[in-house]
Amino acid sequence: MEFAIGTFEGPLDLLLALVRKEEMDIMEIDIHRITQKYLAIIQKTPQLNLNEGGEFIQMASTLIYIKSRSLLPQEAEEILEEEGPSKEDLIQALAQHNYYLKAAEKLNERPSLNRDIWTCCSSMDFVSVESEEIQADGLFSLIGAFRKALKRAYTFKIKISLPSVFEWIHKIQSFFIKGKTRSFQQLIRQQKSTQKEEHWSSVHQILLSFLSILELGKLGVVTMVQKDKDIQIQTHREIDEKIFYMLGKDLSFDKPSKAMRKGSVVQ
């Protein structure tokens, strides 16, 4: 089994997993073996960033400290007694973490509302409607009240998946015929007739089309001239593989498969 730091919630979690994997007893961990295994995992992690990995590095230093202490003769150990973390502290922390994990497991085993059992009003939201007065203790009760008010307010987030500009050009490429001049209005009208089944609003389509011709303009595929309230688009070359390759680079897509990834817009 390969261990990666990213999958663990903090260094204790990783340490506990290692103890289990090595089939050790928490109360009698082999500090030499566990330190070795722990450091091997830390070293394997490329670019451990200090913000996320700081706790893991701190634990590594604790382990090394405890390990080095255990190598000292008994007398020196006694002198050092009051300083720094001891093996017992570590065992205590691990055991405590383990107890709470067990407690969490037990909690999760209970029949839970809206998972195993339901009330007649289970479709209601997880928001209490108890009224509570803002106490005079200032900032935090105000934050609490604000959170509650926010929960009660009706907010809607509508997520629409929009195609990326890259995909959009793919979609409308038939519009661009070498040597022909057509107007932006025609482009929009063509989409309206073919894209009826799509759920994006026409505003999105227009926006995407506009961005698309700008991109194509940049690559020299088309030139644009504004005429009255419309744009005349003159196509100079076919949109072929090469253009898509350049587009992909331009829009910072490495591979075509990645290019098919959908962008999303939150309204």
Partner 1 sequence: MKKWSKDDIFSVLESLLFSSDKPLKISDFLSSMGENFKGAEIRDYLDQLSKTYQKKNRGIELREVAGGYQLVTKNENKVFVQCLKKRRPFQLSKPSLEVLSIIAYQQPCTRAEISQIRRTDSGHILRRLMDRNLVSFAGQSEQPGKPMMYKTTQKFLEVYGLKNLKGLPSLDDIKNEFLPEDSEENRVQFNLEALSENVD
Which residue ranges make up the site for partner 1 (CB under 8 A)?
9-13, 26, 55, 59, 93, 95-108, 110-124, 126-128, 137, 140-141, 143-144, 147, 151
> In the structure encoding, which two tokens stand for residue 125, read together?
């939201």
> In the structure encoding, which two tokens stand for residue 84, read together?
């720094």
CB of 221 to partner 1, least distance (A): 46
CB of 127 to partner 1, least distance (A): 6
CB of 241 to partner 1, least distance (A): 43
Is the CB of 21 or the CB of 102 nearer to partner 1?
A: 102
CB of 38 to partner 1, least distance (A): 13
Is the CB of 93 or the CB of 246 nearer to partner 1?
A: 93
The alpha carbon dihedral of 208, 214, 219, 221 has a sign of: positive
Is the CB of 145 or the CB of 219 nearer to partner 1?
A: 145
Is the CB of 150 or the CB of 214 nearer to partner 1?
A: 150
Is the CB of 30 or the CB of 89 nearer to partner 1?
A: 89
CB of 162 to partner 1, least distance (A): 25
